[in-house]
Amino acid sequence: DIQMTQSPSFLSASVGDRVTITCRASQGIRNDLGWYQQKPGKAPKRLIYTASSLESGVPSRFSGSGSGTEFTLTISSLQPEDFATYYCLQYNSYPHTFGQGTKLEIK
Amino acid sequence: EVQLVESGGGLVQPGGSLRLSCAASGFTFSTYWMSWVRQAPGKGLEWVANIRHDGSDKYYVDSVKGRFTISRDNAKNSLFLQMNNLRAEDTAVYYCARERACYAWGQGTLVTVSS
């Protein structure tokens, strides 16, 4: 199975900060990776697909990059509504696997 | 607008069975892979299973193989998850999602396995 190691697990930041979340795959997954945002009590929402493609309607302050084994999600200027938990998902090989999540909290 | 609505969750004893359903609308259901993902209380997301658009291929996480069966009825725009021999560790909110890359998600249905 491909392991997705997501870091950090917790991140404390302020409105306006630039933050980066990383996912490392235990083996190459090309660009078969998505990023998801989940708020408490809600279903996840996909932000990024194929590692760097921004979902329609998602603000441009979100961006994704990477290929192979290392991927990043960057939020260029945090807004109050961005405080949530973020997950990566690899869908290159079975079983598909999520990272363990990054909880982004207000400093 | 893509809409996915799960149902069928509830409280079940260990060893029991449940069948989850996901009603899809707003897109051509028969042309998309569909997935199930679960989230145990206070925990992260876990991919469970998915099924090709025509039902010809199905994949599962090891922990549910032999116990869970994913299926679909394209005529009724519906996705199913038959869960047998349920264990306490299957307790979770179960989400259906469109595509292998989980583009759109339902609101989830809670399955609680407890005596």
Q: For B54-75, how does the pLDDT look when each residue is reduced to its tens digit (9 = 90+)? A: 999 999 999 999 999 999 999 9
Confirm or reject contact between A7 and chain B (CB < 8 A). Answer: no
pLDDT band at B42 (very low <50, low <70, confident <90, very high): very high
Owner of token pair 């869970």: B68
| Strand partners for B49 | B36, B60
B110 Cβ contact partners less than 8 Å away, ≥ 6 residues apart: B9, B10, B92, B93, B94
Selected residue of A32, A91, A93 to mutate for chain B interface (largest B Cβ count, 10 A): A91
pLDDT band at A21 (very low <50, low <70, confident <90, very high): very high
Cα–Cα distance measured from residue A58 to residue A71, given in angstroms and rounded to the nearest whole number: 19
Confirm or reject contact between A44 and chain B (CB < 8 A). Answer: yes
Q: For A35-48, how does the pLDDT look when each residue is reduced to its tens digit (9 = 90+)? A: 999 999 999 999 99
pLDDT recorded at residue B31: 97
Instruction: Evaluate if residue B51 carries a pLDDT over 90.
Output: yes
Of A1, A46, A100, the CB nearest to B44: A100
Cα–Cα distance measured from residue A84 to residue A101, given in angstroms and rounded to the nearest whole number: 10
CB-CB under 8 Å, B62 with A95: yes
Percent of chain B with pLDDT over 70: 100
- Asked whether A103 and A8 are in contact (CB, 8 A), the reply is no
Task: For residue A68, give the nearest of A5, A21, A24 by alpha carbon.
Answer: A24
Instruction: Evaluate if residue A98 carries a pLDDT over 90.
Output: yes
pLDDT recorded at residue A107: 87
Q: H/E element holding B44?
A: none
